[in-house]
Structure 1
Amino acid sequence: MQADRSMKMGHALNPFSTSAPLDATAGPSLIPDLITRIPSACAPGLGPRWTLFIAILAAGVLLVSCLLCVICCYCHRHRHRKQPKDKETVGLGSARNSTTTHLVQPDVDCLEPCSGGDQQWGRLLLSLEYDFGSQEIRVGLRQAGNLKAEGTADPYAWVSVSTQSGRRHETKVHRGTLSPMFEETCCFLVPPAELPKATLKVQLWDFKRFSEHEPLGELQLPLGTVDLQHVLESWYQLGPPGTTEPEQMGELCFSLRYVPSSGSLTVVVLEARGLNPGLAEAYVKIQLMLNQRKWKKSKTSSKKGTTTPYFNEAFVFLVPVSQLQSVDLVLAVWARGLQLRTEPVGKVLLGSRASGQPLQHWADMLAHARRPIAQWHHLRSPREVDRVLALQPRLPLLRPRS
């Protein structure tokens, strides 16, 4: 009885035995049973059955590898055939001559500025209007765009007409931008007979407080080629700066300091440079005007035999806050010329009626009270400054005939 039970349990625990009956309920043992019968049925002398598993596995790996190689080769040929010829890149790594890659294949960033030389200096928006009654041309300097500079700049502009020597309009300085919005208008007296030969000149500069200003571009527009019968407003391309700079009368460096509590205005005249070598005994006059009338004045000591006189002299004027908006400050460089007469070389006008850099210097002084603000200024023509101040020029004294 126990033997029968063990045999029954053995049959139940060993479903892979060859003596087990094959019925519908023995589905999971069908495949292993067939595998065990293959060596005995096909080749009884093959040896252990694990060799058959290794052979089948190696054949499967070899077949899959062959299929993958065929697919990769087909895809590579198909992609190579569809590539257009104009998109093929030229490799210059194997070239053994002195030709470099950036000379033959420039970068994409260099293609746009290198293709057009006029684009790299930027552009300028101007409006032109001519009044035939007053014979004046009104130039509206609107804005500039895409100026060329390293990083940002502090641009300002000079506007002049070739037929009016010594007459120039200077805009205020715009800080930290390459697309300044000027929105300034200036007028020049140009008779109709001089319009065909007159040229409008606009120069853009990068302001530097203590060094030479750097040019940013220039526009020269012949007025004879422009139809001034109507108001014109359009963009103009800037060109490279001119090789010849406008006539300079020199520069003057001074500092301004205003204390609102005491009403003291301190002017420190530091130095001048770029004066005419033919001048002698240069000195600086400081003049305050109140409501377009002469109010207070002073002057520095004279310096002989130098085109770069160094003064470093301070002057204090009492100006109440209530009168500050009605005050004009004029600094003039005087020197003795060839005729042994002392004449003004150039002037700088500061105050609410000033323009350009002097107006910016005056505004910086008011914005930073109790702090000295120093800056270089280009000297302007004395007649131009007197015209702004509405001063009448002095008539020369008649000398008696000998």
Structure 2
Amino acid sequence: MPQARRESSKSFQGVCVYQNQPIDFILPGISTHLQPAPTSGKQITPGHSTEHLQTDIFVHEMARSDSHESLMSKNISDECNLEQSRSSLLGGLNPDLYRIGGLDPDEDDDFPDNHRGRIWFKVHYEEKNEQLSVNLLKIKNLPSRVKGSINCSDPFVRIFLLPDGRRYVQSKVKKKTCNPRFDETFVFQVPNKSVQDSSLRLTVFDNDRGKRHTIIGHVIVKLKDVDVNSTEPVLFCKDLEIEQDEPPSESGEINVSLCYNPMIERLTVTVCEAKNLRWPDDLPLETCVKISLFTGSKMAKVKKTSIAKKSSQPNYNESFHFKLNQSSVAISHILLQVNLAHVGNKGDKCLGRVVLGSHMFARGRALEHWITAITTTPHKQVRQWHKLT
């Protein structure tokens, strides 16, 4: 009996044998995530040597360790490949998903000094329907309104059909961006016989929070350069040109603001200031401004500013209200005259004048000023300089 007790309590390093059944446990120095070697149905008896047991366990654990390291190496390699693929999109969007169709992916972004912006648009003419389609795509590198800051611009585009000049369409205003994307399409009805003599003028404005419209630049495309027989739109990419300064007026300039309220049918004309006024014999005299409202060829109302004392840069800053029915807008105009006050016994003498009104009476900036104030942005003050003639 004592001998049997000694046999049953006999222990080996790595495996304990009790009642002829193996009891496994983890050897020190082997990582805990590894499973012990299976016995493969073999039973360990007291007759097995300790060295054989240790050798079998070591060989099996080394094989499992090599397999585990290989698996971990593969996982690390896969993770590196995944991170590498993600790194290209980390912190931004994939530009390939947001390209505008028809643009060259390798488009040139090298802009010269004092660049005013570059505009992309497509033009297509349908001869059968006599329709001219203009697809406004985008603009890049517009100047910022505030020097030293970026994206301080609220651009929009007006597209004029020339030589008429009074027919134009306007894009939406893009807030706080110098690289706006529009993707808007506009249609003009143009007879076949007029296509070759017509042109498109795209003028880019800065809205400046709705207070006023500052011209950034423009481009002009002659429709005779567009293949009217093409079934595909023609893509244009042009740099904006700065408005060419007209030669200074010999009579000076006047700054006027227009505001029309269609609800109460009231036109407000504000005479702000004048500059570079020139008098006969270069003698500065007193001046005033006469404002006349015409409906058709009939004078409806006349008003006059107070007299500005001898100055070539007078400030008037006076507002005048006129009753103007919506039905009469298309046949009305405003005549502003800068006069020398009380010249001899003949009354006031005209130094210069400007006409603001519909296409029947005005052209160029004067017509644009009228349309913007009356039609495009009612209820808002639209202020602009005009040359006196």
TM-score normalised by structure 2 residue count: 0.51
Secondary structure of the structure 1 residue equivalent to 2:239: coil
Contact 2:287 2:338 in 1 (8 A): yes
Q: CA deviation at 1:266?
A: 5.3
Please say if 1:112 is aligned against 2:105.
yes
Taking a change above 3 Å as real, the CA distance of residues 288 and 182 of structure 1, as seen in their structure-2 partners, is farther
RMSD of Structure 2 on Structure 1 (CA): 5.8
The letter of the residue matching 2:355 is K
State the alpha-carbon separation in 2 of the partners of residues 233 and 380 from structure 1: 43
Q: CA deviation at 1:269?
A: 0.8
State the alpha-carbon separation in 1 of the partners of residues 121 and 321 from structure 2: 44
Say which of 305, 312, 317 aligns to 2:317.
Answer: 312
Provide, for residues 109-149 of structure 1, a one-character-per-residue CA deviation record: whole Å limited to 9, x for no partner: 899364377995111536599xxxxxxxx995745222335
- Percent identity among equivalent residues? 12
Q: CA deviation at 1:325?
A: 1.4
Question: What residue is the counterpart of 1:325 in the other structure?
Answer: 327
Provide, for residues 139-182 of structure 1, a one-character-per-residue CA deviation record: whole Å limited to 9, x for no partner: 95745222335576322145556xxxxx8446354432534555
Taking a change above 3 Å as real, the CA distance of residues 160 and 276 of structure 1, as seen in their structure-2 partners, is farther
Taking a change above 3 Å as real, the CA distance of residues 31 and 232 of structure 1, as seen in their structure-2 partners, is closer
Contact 1:172 1:356 in 2 (8 A): no
State the alpha-carbon separation in 2 of the partners of residues 186 and 335 from structure 1: 40
Q: How does 1:151-230 map to 2 (within 5 A)?
A: 153-158=155-160, 160=162, 168-169=165-166, 171=168, 173-176=170-173, 178-184=182-188, 200=199, 202-208=201-207, 209-210=210-211, 213-215=214-216, 217-221=218-222, 223=224
Q: How does 1:2-401 map to 2 (within 5 A)?
A: 32=22, 38-39=45-46, 41-43=47-49, 46=50, 56-69=56-69, 112=105, 114-115=107-108, 120-125=118-123, 127=125, 142-148=134-140, 150=151, 153-158=155-160, 160=162, 168-169=165-166, 171=168, 173-176=170-173, 178-184=182-188, 200=199, 202-208=201-207, 209-210=210-211, 213-215=214-216, 217-221=218-222, 223=224, 234-243=233-242, 245=244, 247=246, 252-256=255-259, 258=261, 260=263, 265=266, 267-272=268-273, 278=278, 283-290=288-295, 293-301=298-306, 303=308, 305-307=311-313, 309-319=314-324, 323-327=325-329, 328-335=331-338, 342=350, 344-349=352-357, 356-363=368-375, 373-377=380-384, 379=386
Provide, for residues 201-235 of structure 1, a one-character-per-residue CA deviation record: whole Å limited to 9, x for no partner: 62412143545624254134385x6689x899953
Provide, for residues 348-400 of structure 1, a one-character-per-residue CA deviation record: whole Å limited to 9, x for no partner: 2269999655334224676x5xxxx3112354898xxxxxxxxxxxxxxxxxx
State the alpha-carbon separation in 2 of the partners of residues 345 and 232 from structure 1: 49
Question: What residue is the counterpart of 1:7 in the other structure?
Answer: none
The letter of the residue matching 2:234 is W
State the alpha-carbon separation in 1 of the partners of residues 131 and 278 from structure 2: 36
Taking a change above 3 Å as real, the CA distance of residues 175 and 52 of structure 1, as seen in their structure-2 partners, is same
Taking a change above 3 Å as real, the CA distance of residues 63 and 53 of structure 1, as seen in their structure-2 partners, is same
State the alpha-carbon separation in 2 of the partners of residues 259 and 115 from structure 1: 47
State the alpha-carbon separation in 1 of the partners of residues 297 and 244 from structure 2: 33
Question: What residue is the counterpart of 1:391 in the other structure?
Answer: none
Aligned residues: 294
Contact 1:264 1:316 in 2 (8 A): no
| Rg (Cα) greater in structure | 1
Contact 1:128 1:233 in 2 (8 A): no
Contact 1:287 1:297 in 2 (8 A): yes
The letter of the residue matching 2:173 is G
Taking a change above 3 Å as real, the CA distance of residues 221 and 361 of structure 1, as seen in their structure-2 partners, is same
Contact 2:369 2:382 in 1 (8 A): no
Q: CA deviation at 1:244?
A: 5.3
Contact 2:257 2:271 in 1 (8 A): yes
Taking a change above 3 Å as real, the CA distance of residues 356 and 142 of structure 1, as seen in their structure-2 partners, is farther
Provide, for residues 19-76 of structure 1, a one-character-per-residue CA deviation record: whole Å limited to 9, x for no partner: xxxxxxxxxx98649977533x234xx5xxxx98776544432221223445677999
Provide, for residues 284-322 of structure 1, a one-character-per-residue CA deviation record: whole Å limited to 9, x for no partner: 443333355332222324545435x43221223345xxx
Runs (5+) with no aligned partner, structure 1: 1-15, 18-28, 78-82, 88-106, 130-137, 162-166, 383-402
Contact 1:333 1:347 in 2 (8 A): yes
State the alpha-carbon separation in 1 of the partners of residues 302 and 187 from structure 2: 35
Contact 1:270 1:313 in 2 (8 A): yes
